[in-house]
Amino acid sequence: MRYASLGSGSKGNATLVESEKSCVMIDCGFNHKQTLLRLERLGKGPEDITAICLTHEHGDHIAGVRLFSKRYGTPVYMTSGTANALEDVQTQVLIQAGDSLHFGELEIISVAVSHDAAEPCQYVIKEGSKRLGLLTDIGYACDAVLDAYQGCDALILEANYDDEQLENGYYPESVKARIAGERGHLSNEQSLALIKALEFENVHALSIAHVSEKNNHQETIKSLFRQHFGSQVEQMDFVCQQEGMIWRTLT
C-alpha cells in the first residue's frame, strides 16, 4: 500500500490510501478546486477515487465532500452521527465504529474516538499483514484506541498543540479549554506518550499531522520527540497544511 496527504491542519484535511485496485480518500476537507489541484499534485484524478471515508463533520474534514460526491458519484462512508450532522450527501453509506470496509485489497477499520463531533471515528488501514494508522482529531486515547492502533507499521498521528504556546496564545479561554479537553486535540506531549504506549519505533514511518499553525511549531515537536527518538527525529515526516505529503510506500 502507499499513502499520501492533500494537506493537514485546521484549514483542511484529506489523506489518500492506495493499493493496486483501489484508492480511498479519507476526509475531503478542501474546497472542490483545491481538492482537484491537490489530487493532481499527487498524480490522481477524481475518477481514481474508489470511495471517501469521513472521520467527522468538522469543516476541515468535509468542505469538499458534497460537490465531489455529487459530481463523481463517489460513495461516502460515514457514521450515522456524522451523516445527521452533515445532511445532503446523496451517495452516503452508513457505517458503525468497529466496522471493516473492504476496497480491493484494502481493509479499512473504523475506530471510535473522543472528539467534539457527533460520532467521530478514525481509521486503521490494512493490506495483507501491513497496517497504517490514521489518528487525528482526538482529545485523548482510551484503551480501545490503544488496542486498535497497537502494532501499526506506519502512523499518521496528530500533534496539534504545544501546552505552553496554547496557554500563552491569544485564543479565548473557552477555545483553549476545548482544544486541550478530552474531546479536543492531542498535545505534543500526549502524542509522544501515545507513541510510547504503542511501542512505535519506526521513525521513518511516522508522519506528524494536524499541527496547529497558531499554537505549535515543527521545531517544538522535534525537540520534544528527540527525547524519545534521538537524532533520528529528523527522519520523521510532517504533513503540511499547504504541501500535504507526497506518497510513502508501506511494503
Rounding to the nearest 10 degrees, give the CA dihedral for residues 127, 45, 121, 177: 130
- CB-wise, 15 or 22, nearer to Zn ion? 15
How big is the site for Zn ion, counted in residues (CB under 5 A)? 3
Using CB under 5 A as the binding rule, whether residue 44 contacts Zn ion is answered as: no
Q: Rounded to the nearest whole angstrom, what is the least distance from the CB of residue 60 to Zn ion in the complex?
A: 4
Using CB under 5 A as the binding rule, whether residue 57 contacts Zn ion is answered as: no
- CB-wise, 137 or 162, nearer to Zn ion? 137
d(CA 67, CA 230) in angstroms, rounded, equals 45
- How many other C-beta atoms can be found within 10 angstroms of the C-beta atom of residue 54? 28
Task: Give the residue, chosen from 38, 44, 58, 66, that forms a contact with Zn ion under the rule CB under 5 A.
Answer: 58
Using CB under 5 A as the binding rule, whether residue 119 contacts Zn ion is answered as: no
Q: Where are the alpha helices (DSSP H) in the chain?
A: 32-41, 59-62, 65-72, 80-86, 143-149, 163-168, 173-180, 188-197, 218-229
- CB-wise, 114 or 165, nearer to Zn ion? 114
- CB-wise, 15 or 92, nearer to Zn ion? 15
Q: Rounded to the nearest whole angstrom, what is the least distance from the CB of residue 55 to Zn ion in the complex?
A: 8
d(CA 183, CA 120) in angstroms, rounded, equals 10
Tell me which residues in 60-79 interact with Zn ion (CB under 5 A): 60
- CB-wise, 1 or 221, nearer to Zn ion? 221
d(CA 14, CA 53) in angstroms, rounded, equals 10
HEC sequence for 209-249: ECCCCCCCCHHHHHHHHHHHHHHHHHHCEECECCCEEEEEE
- What does DSSP say about strands 92-95 and 76-79: parallel, antiparallel, or unpaired? parallel
Using CB under 5 A as the binding rule, whether residue 126 contacts Zn ion is answered as: no
**Ramachandran category for residue 210: left, alpha or beta (phi over 0 → left; psi -120 to 50 → alpha):** left
Q: Rounded to the nearest whole angstrom, what is the least distance from the CB of residue 188 to Zn ion in the complex?
A: 16
Measure CA 211 to chain center: 11
- CB-wise, 10 or 165, nearer to Zn ion? 10
d(CA 14, CA 26) in angstroms, rounded, equals 6
Tell me which residues in 171-210 interact with Zn ion (CB under 5 A): none
Q: Rounded to the nearest whole angstrom, what is the least distance from the CB of residue 13 to Zn ion in the complex?
A: 6
Q: Rounded to the nearest whole angstrom, what is the least distance from the CB of residue 150 to Zn ion in the complex?
A: 24
Point out the residue whose Cβ comes nearest to Zn ion: 58
Q: Which one-letter DSSP state was computed for residue 181?
A: S
Task: Give the residue, chosen from 18, 57, 127, 137, that forms a contact with Zn ion under the rule CB under 5 A.
Answer: 137
Interacting residue ranges for Zn ion, rule: CB under 5 A: 58, 60, 137
